[in-house]
Structure 1
Amino acid sequence: MGNVGLLYVGAVLFINGLMLIGVIPGKSAAILNFFVGGMQVVFPTIILIQADNDPGIILGAAGLYLFGFTYLYVGILQLTGLSGEGLGWFSLFVSVCAVVIGFIQLTLDDPVFAVIWWIWAVLWFLFFLLLGLNMDSLTLTTGWFTILISHLTGTIPAFVLLLGRYESNTTLALTLAALGVLALAIAVTIGRRSSAAAESEASTTAPIAT
């Protein structure tokens, strides 16, 4: 179940990234957030019922709830028009949890998913800065980073897991980490260039005082 959920994490992150850069309206993106958020709450509940107190299974289910509540929160905000500060501070909580879960993955000899969790920690920290601290200048940076890592940390690993070909070693983890850093660098560059272009356009179209 977790592997299927991961596949749709890639999908909803991609849609939310497109929403942040202005390609998809918020109310349109809200629908998929409700679908995936609901799934990410129902699935871990079923997993917990069947876990038989297995700590590893319970840990995995707890991580799914972090995503499920985020997407349901996003969907509600987009439909109601409420401010996003609450989601922003919840995103800080998710970011800290993701860092911890990443280290736990290392103790479980799974460095690839440790890196995936740390990339998610960076993304949710950007959500915190954008929504919790109202740093609107990071909107495009956050949107592009969301798009770039959606398939890197969601869709592709999910398909590999579903095909039964998942491997985890230091080389793959370092490669994934490098791709994550590259994605962040690209997102920051696009965000800064877009902001600079907007400021330049605003200055050239501003009325001349008389």
Structure 2
Amino acid sequence: MGAVGLLYVGAVLFINGMMLLKMVEPRAAAILNLFVGALQVITPTVLIITNPGNPAQILGASGIYLFGFTYLYVGINLLGGFDSTGVGYFSLFVAVMALGYSYANFRLLGDPAFGVIWLYWAYLWFLFFVLLGLKHEQITRYTGWVTAIQGWITAAIPAFMVLTGYWQNTNLIALVLAVFGLVVFIGLWPLTRGSKPAAAAPSSSDEALGGTHRPRWT
């Protein structure tokens, strides 16, 4: 069941990345955030209730709430037009906790591939904190691309591999993911961060995620 939810985490991350890149209208993205957020609250609740004597299963399920609450928070923000600061600082909490879940996957659950994936998520949610909490809109395009790429690399593809039985040799997968992340996300930085405010453009990342502060971008 956890892999099923992860598949749709990939979908919502991809859509949110496209929203930050101004390819998807924010209120349209809100609906999927609410759907996936609800799924990611229901799924871990069922897993915990049905596995009360399995600490490893409960540990894995507990991390899913971080995603569920994020997407519900974002969806409500988008529809209500609220300031994004709350989502930003909640993202800082998620980023810190993701480091803990990364450690747990490496040392307790024996899945180094998901250990690396949790590091990906820690980085992504830290970017959300910088963008939405600290209002550094110059990283909007970078964050959009990282979000969209992570939707596939950390969620949709791994979930499909788990569901089809191809999630094997997690040491090799972890190595591939680590190299891919370093190369791609470092390479994206100089290509995307250079966008500067332009007086003519009407939208912004903050507006896109439900904020009220409206900087202008090219």
Residue 171 (structure 1) shift? 2.7
Pick the structure with more helix per residue.
1
User: SS of the residue aligned with 1:57?
Assistant: helix
Task: Say if 2:41 and 2:68, in contact at 8 Å, map to a contact too.
Answer: yes
The residue type paired with residue 117 of structure 2 is: I
Amino acid corresponding to residue 146 of structure 2 in structure 1: F
Q: Is the 8 A contact 2:52 2:58 kept in 1?
A: no
> Post-superposition shift, 1:168?
3.8
Distance apart, 1:64 and its partner CA: 0.7
Q: Deviations over 1:121-171 (max 9, x none)?
A: 000000000011111111111001011111000111011000012124333
1:31 paired residue number: 31
**Aligned-pair Cα RMSD in Å:** 1.6
**Rounded Cα–Cα distance in structure 1 between residues aligned with 2:134 and 2:188:** 19
* Count of residues in correspondence between the two structures: 199
CA shift for structure 1 position 30: 0.2
- Aligned twin of 1:112: 113
Could you say which residue in structure 1 is the equivalent of 2:154? 153
Is the 8 Å Cα contact of residues 85 and 131 (structure 1) preserved in structure 2? yes
3-state DSSP of counterpart to 2:193: helix
Structure 2 residue 72 is matched with structure 1 residue 72 = yes
Q: Percent identity?
A: 50
2:193 maps to which residue?
192
Secondary structure in 2 matching 1:143: helix
Counterpart in 2 of 1:128? Answer: 129
Partner residue in 2 for 1:48: 48
Q: Partner residue of 2:174?
A: 173
Which residues of structure 1 form unaligned runs of 5+?
203-210
Structure 1 moving runs of 4+ over 4 Å? none
Alpha-carbon deviations, 1:21-52, whole Å to 9, x = none? 11111100000000100000011111111012
| Conserved? CA contact 1:101–1:117, under 8 Å | yes
Deviation at 1:109, TM superposition (A): 1.9
Structure 2 unaligned residues grouped into runs of 5+? 202-218
